[in-house]
Amino acid sequence: MSGATGSPTGATTLLATLTGADRPGLTAAVFTALAGRGVEVLDVAQLVVRGHVTLALLTTAGDDEAGASAALHAAAAELGLELDLSPAPDPDGARPALGSRVHVTLLGSPLRPEAVAAVAGAVAGSGANIDRIRRLAPRPVTAVELDVSGADPEGLRRVLVSVSAEHGVDVAVSPAGLARHGRRLVVLDVDSTLIQDEVIELLAAHAGREREVAAVTERAMRGELDFTESLHERVAALAGLDAAVLDDVRAAVRLTPGAQTLCDVLHRLGFTLALVSGGFTEVVQPLADSLGIAHVRANGLEVVDGRLTGRVSGPVVDRPAKARALREFAAAEGLPMSRTVAVGDGANDLDMLAAAGLGIAFNAKPVVREQAQTSLTSPYLDSVLYLLGISREEVEEAGAGADAPR
């Protein structure tokens, strides 16, 4: 093994890569073969895919380099593994600068090799390196996470936006390190995000004005109409409606697939959830209560003598108000903005998405996808978990995931 390079302590370093069929006790057998030879373990990684194992270990050569090499070859032969043993570079020589590590999460349904190749090429083209890849979720939405070193996060994010659009996959860039751990505040929009419906359209259906109201809603969501003006116009169409229909609307609301799973998992992690909605407290608050969500900010509907007046009660929760609510909830929880996550789909959510540490456009309109930090086109809201580094296996081990399609 002449030509092996020096470790920080002056000893030669060896990289052993073993591949083959996995079996219990394999890892123990490999390290047992090196025991008592004065070897120092510098790095180790193991991956099993469909019963096929790859085990890589970086060590010093120890007191007897030839003996260590022979022991590894003997262990590999006994285990039926292929062994590649070669000199290795200084394990600290190519260490990236602090602050240059990111996670790149790739989601596809299906996930095609062309998309993976394009993302990997973009990472390499930016001067960064992929150090590790792991699967976060299998089909129907396949999610993989790339640990990337030496990256400029904003520059890489801009490059990957075009890759995402070209290949029809979702690609997110998020910081690595301590920023990903610990408690967070997750703020969700409600209509067409937490739930599949637009509540005002459900109300309008009871008034026979649904087509008229839906047209105004669509223009507002695309950013073509001032939200406050559009809200007043739509609520005016509800004038005279019996307030009892609110009970019917609450019963008709449908959670987005994966919404229950998302809330359950985040609660188990000790995260705080909040709902910030341009919809109505009369529907949003009971929904929050049923999901154990701590904070709510939404509009109120004025009711007189048991009927809707067609007016909004109190200040309108518009685009700036959503961002203010995010900041107020974060302050109330004692969390910095870097530890906040916001999820929404409309132009009314843009300020909130921009203010959050991680802003996620969920099945959003084009104007929102173009401006948000990260965009998800998956129909399952629990895909948000993958952007936080939480795998499907971890979700299922926690006993969650009952409402998420397999």
Q: Are 103 and 180 in contact (CB under 8 A)?
A: yes
Q: Which residues contact 226 (CB under 8 A, 6 or more apart)?
A: 220
Catalytic choice (189, 264, 345, 382): 189
Q: What distance in Å separates the CA atoms of residue 53 and residue 262, rounded to the nearest whole number?
A: 32
Catalytic choice (22, 152, 170, 191): 191
Nearest-5° Cα angle at 129, 126 to 132: 140
Is 305 marked active-site? no
155 φ/ψ angles, rounded to the nearest 5 degrees: -65, -45
Is 84 marked active-site? no
Q: What distance in Å separates the CA atoms of residue 192 and residue 381, rounded to the nearest whole number?
A: 10
Report the amino acid identity of residue 12.
T
Exposure string over 287-310, b if 16+ CB within 10 A, otherwise e: bbeebebebbbbbbbebeeebbbb
Q: Are 360 and 171 in contact (CB under 8 A)?
A: no
Q: What distance in Å separates the CA atoms of residue 338 and residue 327, rounded to the nearest whole number?
A: 11
Per-residue DSSP letters for 211-247?
A: HHHHHHHHHHHTTSS-HHHHHHHHHHTTTT-BTTHHH
For strands 295-304 and 129-137, give the pairing: unpaired
- Give which of 301, 304, 255, 303 is closest to 280, Cα–Cα: 301
**In whole angstroms, how far apart are CA 137 and each of 107, 190, 386, 403?**
9, 25, 8, 15
Q: What distance in Å separates the CA atoms of residue 88 and residue 3, rounded to the nearest whole number?
A: 9
Q: What distance in Å separates the CA atoms of residue 246 and residue 396, rounded to the nearest whole number?
A: 35
Report the amino acid identity of residue 256.
T
Question: How does DSSP classify residue 349?
Answer: G
Q: What distance in Å separates the CA atoms of residue 343 and residue 189, rounded to the nearest whole number?
A: 6
Tokens of 111: 């996930």
Which residue's structure tokens are 């200084």?
90
Catalytic residue numbers? 189, 191
